[in-house]
Homo-oligomer: A and B are copies of this chain.
Amino acid sequence: MDYYSNQITKLIEELSCLPGIGSKSAARLAFHLIHMPIEEVKRLASTMVEARENVRYCAECYTLTDQELCPICQNASRDHKTIMVVENTRDLAAYEKTGQYNGVYHVLHGAISPMVGIGPEDIKLKELIARLQGDVEEVIIATNSSLEGETTAMYISKLIKPTGIKVSRIASGVPVGGDLEYIDEVTLLRALEGRTEL
């Protein structure tokens, strides 16, 4: 890329290492940054560095947070006896957006995937088991509906069942607004198996 000068090329190259940013978007972003007011570029740069420096795992649920405990674990009005297990912080946010779940979470930071060498010890599973020593009534497994997510769900349920704590799995089925015609067979069968009486 010798048609741009060094610093522009360097910026484009570093930006294109980010996920979902190809070389064209990286060039677009780079030129946008170069045209932005300098204070805004400095602010974005320092926000990035500060977030990277200060964000860590919540001591309780292992979500990413900039404090010792995340806002959800700090909130006494939430039901700390119900733990929803999710794969990552974005999945936690997806359930928080519904505004209807009042329990707490446990973030695994991954899912068991023997294919890429991720075993039970590579995700925050023993931390989940440690939390079950406390006063827990139900563990809701909300890992993704992928092969890895299902494997992880199965593994966790087997691990927890002997303790007598209730374990549940979020329902699998046709998404709301989904058109049956475009939905895969496995989902259709799951929806049939999981049918509820009206």
Residues of A within 8 A of B (CB): 1-8, 10-11, 14-15, 18-21, 25, 27-34, 36, 38, 41-55, 64-67, 70-72, 88-90, 92-93, 96-97
Contacts and interface: CB of A to CB of B under 8 A. Distances in A.
B55 A34 contact: yes
Contact of A90 (B27, B41, B49): B27
A5 B92 CA distance: 12
A5 B41 contact: no
A64 B33 contact: no
B49 A45 contact: yes
Contacts of A1: 93
A27 B96 CA distance: 15
A51 to B, nearest CB: 4
A47 B14 contact: yes
Interface centre among A2, A34, A71 (most CB of B within 10 A): A34
A29 to B, nearest CB: 6
A11 B48 contact: yes
A49 B14 CA distance: 13
A32 B19 contact: yes
Contacts of A88: 31
Contacts of A97: 3
Given A2-B71, A14-B47, A20-B25, A52 B36 contact: yes
A52 B50 CA distance: 20
Nearest to A53: B38
Contact of A93 (B3, B25, B70): B3
